[in-house]
Amino acid sequence: MSEVLARWNDLPASQAAERILPCCGSRAWAAEMANQRPISEETGLHAACDKVWWGLDESDWLEAFRAHPRIGESAAHSASARSAEWSGEEQQNAIAAQDVVKTALAEANRAYEDRFHRIFIVCATGKSAQQILEILRRRLANDDAAELRESAEQQRQIIHIRLTKWLRS
């Protein structure tokens, strides 16, 4: 068992939820993850994450989405310092993009927010700014239900990356 998991398993539930919250901005997710303890290995943590994530209400997903900055921006208003740091790492290609791509991303982000009334969520790790822009433009054609489900899947992927980072911290 990793030291991080061992320490986390021993915390009171409220502290355990706060400790894991930077991995996903949903308080319901963090509280339910704390209730899944003890978790003895990384694979068990990821399995618990999926079980909890897909069991949440739409409002909990939306709370998690709000903890992210817009693609190409550096920080969300509601993010913790650790979450903001991870977002910067995940979006490094979008943040470092050429001005013409940054402008196109900003415009597409506005169109997405006008259409879906929330920010665009994509697992940006390893993707170029141009790839992200293409994904964003393609997803603008989704209906509301399909897009919510795609955003939730993207968030789930982000959580897994962050859980792995968290375990290594």
Amino acid (1-letter code) at residue 85: E
For residue 11, the tally of other CB atoms under 10 A from its CB is 15
For the chain, what is the total number of helices (H) and then of strands (E)? 10, 0
| Residue of 68, 77, 117, 160 marked active site | 68
**Residue 89: phi, psi to the nearest 5?**
-65, -45
CA distances from 157 to 72, 111, 114 (A): 19, 24, 25
117 is annotated as an active-site residue? no
Distance (Å, whole) CA 22 – CA 40: 20
Instruction: Tell me the catalytic residues.
Output: 68
